[in-house]
Structure 1
Amino acid sequence: MLAQNRTSLNPTTFLLLGIPGLETAHVWISIPFFLVYLLALMGNFVLIFIIKMDSSLHEPMYLFLCMLSVNDLMLSTTALPKILSLFWFNDREISFKACLTQLFFIHSLSTMESGFLLAMAFDRYVAICNPLRHSTILTHGVIMALSLAIVLRGIILLFPHPFLLMRLPYCKTNVIAHTYCEFMALIKLACANTKIHRFYGLILAFLTGGLDFILIICSYILILHAVFHLPSKKAKLKTLSTCGSHVWVMLVLYIPAFFSFITHRFGHNIALHIHIFIANVYLLIPPMMNPIIYGVKTENIWGKFLKVFTNTYV
């Protein structure tokens, strides 16, 4: 039976419950989790290698994609090793400081993920709506400045999270009903008024993922407007195909992210194991799917992949 701490105001350790109600199936659940993590590692390493080694891919779209892959590797590695350790060895214990560190990296890297998708949408907007100025607008200096801004936004906005949680008293229990440390999961354990903390989390969600999503939608409305004014059907299809990969990646990220966000705050009648499973999908699937989607749907990357690993073009 899991130990609970109902007296300590500052627990030194927490116990991760895993997926509530499915504890007996943890070993079986770990198999797809491990395979997805392995695919994410392999896919993103290959993508980074191909883009780094081929100078013809040192263009804004592929440079942002390379940074997205680095971010995906860090995001999945922040959570998955501990989750697998929990599933395989029943290693539930995590220190308070390690929990806050994991929480910070998961949330800040998720914010950066959204930022890189916004940067890629901006690149597609400039390439399609203002192609003659694409190379002068998105210079290497601008790309580095945008990337630095995305990283700093993720660090600065999420930096207060651990310190806000550190100051809260935890006297309900030290058991976290989750597979990893997550802001809302810890807030629920506090025995203090957390309205300000919840409001801060809500504002952050809007200023990062929410605002990014709105700007991405706006960019694609402008892109579609430009595409439908092209003279030929062939030109329209060719232009739209260059955006196809990005749209799929965006859907893979934002659909589970918004579902997880909404169910955490408003889906009180939804079973807890569904909450937790969707939260894991949000961390697992995008890092795995991003290199697959871009590798298959982007002709340049697919061609370079075949050249590197088979020495032939198909």
Structure 2
Amino acid sequence: MKLSVIVPCYNEENNVVPFYNAVMKELKNIDLEILFINDGSRDQTFNKLKSLFLKDNEHVRIVDFSRNFGKEAALLAGLKESKGDFVSIIDADLQQNPKYIIDMLKILENNPDYDCVAAYQNVRKEGKILTFFKDCFYKLINRMTEIEIVRSASDFRTLKRCMVDAILSLPEQCRFSKGIFSWVGFNTYYMPYTVEERASGESKWSFWKLFRYAIDGIVAFSTTPLVISSIIGIILCFVSFIFIAIIVIKTLCFGDPVAGFPTLATIILLFSGLQLFFIGVLGQYLAKTYTESKHRPVYIVKNILEKESFKDE
């Protein structure tokens, strides 16, 4: 049994060495490769990774991107380059302790029916406002889509090769891994874990980035917003006809004056706002279609450091 540990890295110069030491300590009795994906880091992350490779090219492999393509691209690259029968995805900041990988492997080995073990936070260490919005997102996307994304489930998981191959068979460029993990099916065991403090640095995920990520997830796996737009448009058309009929009857039959500027301005603003909102919803789907139609690669690899290529050099 060989294990591939995929580690996306973006500006993690102070974390990659402690992470490597932690992995080698916890997984020392396992045949493994540690596949670092340098996602266009702007600090000394790549140099630190290269030093690890020169120290231990038996276990360390490095995929170096030409620029920052995002975590989704790094995950895809790691899955494509992985060679193990089991593949673990974990962050480099040590908030996800490598010791949990041992528990995941035991679950998969002792339960052949399971194809994946996904970790979720049993206690969330974040602000109440962020937790509220995340809960709203999970409720919303689970109602809008046919897939189910478990609340608080992270990308920290271990997969069998059969599930990895299924994920790689999806050619889409606009990727939302949490949805893809659920869409491909397979039996997943959800294991609680405790998040630890970052070894160094700050989270790369701002509220705005999380919001955009949530929108991408909904657009990627649901057309419900388009259906809602159509339904609301039809309802507003009927309401408009009713109001027109009421105004005409009141004016012709009873001589009541039509309400003035405030009412008219409010109605115009309301309908203009709704139109712009639904045009924006439509634009999100058109943008994704436009991106997919260009067939650009999800990422570009600048260099791969592994034992074979090192020998060739």
Same fold, judged at TM 0.5 (above): no
Greater fraction helix = 1
TM-score by length of 2: 0.26
| Greater length-normalized contact order (CA 8 Å, ≥ 6 residues apart) | 1
